C-alpha cells in the first residue's frame, strides 16, 4: 500500500513488484469533497497521476498502462453523450483535476512513447461503494435505515451510470489491445442516461 502523492514510496513499490502492466485508479473521487478540499484533490489527482507515470517511466518496458479517468474531464457540456473529440477542461477543482491528469498521461505518451491509454467513465455504481456522498449509495442507505433522503441539487442533472464490472472489463480490454489504444482516450458508457430524480424513483420502485 502507498499514497500516490508519495513519489519515493511509489518508486520503492515499483522496484519491489516490477509490474508488467499498471492500472491507475487511485484518486480523490468525490465531487463534493473536492469543493471542500481542493488542494487534496488536486494533489491526489494531478500529482498522483504524474508520480505513477514517472515511476512507470523509470522502470521502463511496461506492456500497458491504463489511466482511469472520468467524463468529468470534459467539464460541463450542453451536448450529451460526450465524445472523445471534445476538448478536456473544467471550471471546478474536480473537473480540472481529472482533465489535468488526462493531459499528463497523454504528454507521457507523446514525449516518451509509453504504452498509455486513458479510460473515461460516467458515474460508476455497484457493490462495495460506501461513499455515501453518491446518489445510489445514499438511496440504499435511506432505504435500509428508513431515513429521509436529501438530494443536493434540483434533481434534474442527467448523468450516465456505468456498472462497476463493466468498468473493470473495459480497462482489461484496453490493456489487452494496447497496440491499438495507446495514446488515445476512450469513453465507456451505457444506456443508463438518467436524471437524479429518475434514479431515486427507480430505486424507490
Q: What is the three-state SS of 99-119?
A: HHHHHHHHHHHHHHCCCEEEE
Give one DSSP letter per residue of 22-71, joined into a string. EEE--S---HHHHHH-HHHHHIIIIIHHHHHHHHHHHH---SEEEEEEEG
What does the angle CA 150 – CA 155 – CA 159 come to, to the nearest 5 degrees?
115
Residues β-bridged to residue 64: 21
130 catalytic? Reply is no
- Given the residues 94, 130, 161, 163, the one annotated as active site: 94
CB 188, CB 166: distance < 8 Å: yes
For the chain, the straight-line distance linking the first and the last C-alpha, in angstroms and rounded, comes to: 41
Q: Which grid cell is 104?
A: 499528463
Name the residues annotated as catalytic.
94
Amino acid at each position: 500500500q502507498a499514497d500516490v502523492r508519495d513519489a519515493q514510496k511509489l518508486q520503492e513499490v515499483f522496484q519491489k513488484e516490477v509490474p508488467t502492466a499498471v492500472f491507475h485508479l487511485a484518486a480523490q473521487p468525490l465531487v463534493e469533497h473536492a469543493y471542500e478540499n481542493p488542494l487534496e484533490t488536486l494533489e491526489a489527482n494531478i500529482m498522483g497521476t504524474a508520480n505513477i507515470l514517472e515511476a512507470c517511466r523509470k522502470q521502463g518496458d511496461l506492456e500497458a498502462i491504463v489511466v482511469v479517468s472520468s467524463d468529468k474531464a470534459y467539464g460541463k457540456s450542453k451536448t450529451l453523450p460526450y465524445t472523445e473529440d471534445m476538448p478536456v477542461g473544467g471550471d471546478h477543482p474536480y473537473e480540472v483535476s481529472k482533465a489535468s491528469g488526462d493531459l499528463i498521461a497523454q504528454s507521457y505518451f507523446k514525449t516518451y512513447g509509453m504504452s498509455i491509454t486513458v479510460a473515461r467513465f460516467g458515474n460508476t455504481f455497484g457493490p462495495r461503494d460506501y461513499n455515501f456522498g453518491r446518489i445510489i449509495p445514499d438511496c440504499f442507505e435511506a432505504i435500509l435505515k428508513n431515513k429521509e433522503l436529501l438530494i443536493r441539487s434540483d434533481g434534474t442533472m442527467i448523468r450516465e451510470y456505468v456498472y462497476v464490472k463493466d468498468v473493470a472489463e473495459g480497462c482489461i480490454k484496453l490493456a489487452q489491445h494496447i497496440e491499438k489504444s495507446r495514446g488515445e482516450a476512450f469513453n465507456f458508457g451505457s444506456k443508463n442516461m438518467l436524471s437524479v430524480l429518475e434514479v431515486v424513483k427507480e430505486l424507490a420502485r
